[in-house]
Structure 1
């Protein structure tokens, strides 16, 4: 069943600023445009307090060239291999997750091992939240890259394949962080 709110009628293609109606062409354009924005973020971090608004600002920046709803919370329920947070509970769940992150001082002053332990927990929680209609993975990776920098660490995602990240994210949905922790052990310095 097609998403009648975010997609062109009768399709699964997201309505976009480029007016592309072909899924493959949109995927290619999205990949290219977001890659440019992510490169820009290497030198110009999005300023924020590592809260829900900060996550939204990062999404808005990355997807500003493609979607009018960039940076806005989704209004429909979505699923991939798992059903993500029900849209009704997004604000409440986000508030809890980011309050917990704040309570843990944004993972600052932790040993590398402790940092990775807490990082994978929060990574899994934000992944289960999946607050945007599209672009959650790229947004959360950038959010946690910036969080790591503020805590004195670096995450090098080039050390992780897309397939590895997808499988680790699926597992983290049921709070099995084994694969995600192994990946972050490779990527965090």
Structure 2
């Protein structure tokens, strides 16, 4: 999966826990105090780490621990809290899952995914698109981390495809605008746009 230069679902917000005082710039290991420079560093470092994960294949059992390990690997060079759930409530138009319910909501989602055998038995591209859109939309609403949710979610979805073995997904086939619109619709109306977007990004592998 190629890297993308944006994290779809998040606007920078100031908070006293994660940001440098009086700014919306997240405290970081590199002590970067310029928001654009920080975003560039995120992209550069996470791109390298993303490629490492892609080459490794499936790196866990799709549990919450697995999701956190993906986030930790992607952002270990930038944030001390990489791999740890956020401790503040955040929103962007829609309020994301409250802090105290993050793991509970994920566990509910995980049970559904497990009942579907982690999508490993799906052979139809349309069906795979529908189910991936459902889980991507739900993961986005949980939004477990202070930053980096989009990249982490996409890697989780990529690994579901790798686990299935019949598909791979390339999110660079979607534009930033398409993904934002699909995510907003998913949060408020339906998954129709997200399903169509994933269908466009999904590639059936030749046996």
TM-score interval (norm. to shorter): over 0.9
- Structure 2 residue aligned with 1:22: 34
1:116 corresponds, among 129, 133, 136, to: 129
Q: Secondary structure at the match of 1:31?
A: helix
- Structure 2 residue aligned with 1:80: 92
CA distances 1:111-150 after superposition (whole Å, capped 9, x unpaired): 2222211111111000100000000000000110011111
CA distances 1:44-85 after superposition (whole Å, capped 9, x unpaired): 235210111111000000000000000001000011232110
Give the paired residue count.
Answer: 189
1:5 aligns with 2:21: no
Change (3 A) 1:46 1:73: farther
- Structure 2 residue aligned with 1:131: 144
Give 1:1-189 correspondences, 5 Å limit: 2-45=14-57, 47-110=59-122, 111-152=124-165, 153-189=167-203
| More displaced 10-residue stretch of structure 1: 34-43 or 146-155 | 34-43
Counterpart-to-counterpart distance in 2, 1:145 and 1:135: 16
Please identify which structure carries the higher strand content: 2
**Stretches of structure 2 lacking an aligned partner (at least 5 in a row):** 1-12
Q: Secondary structure at the match of 1:173?
A: helix
**Stretches of structure 1 lacking an aligned partner (at least 5 in a row):** none
8 Å CA contact 1:46–1:58 kept in 2: the answer is no
Which 4+ stretches in 1 moved above 3 angstroms? none
8 Å CA contact 2:73–2:82 kept in 1: the answer is yes
How many Å apart are 1:43 and its aligned residue? 1.0
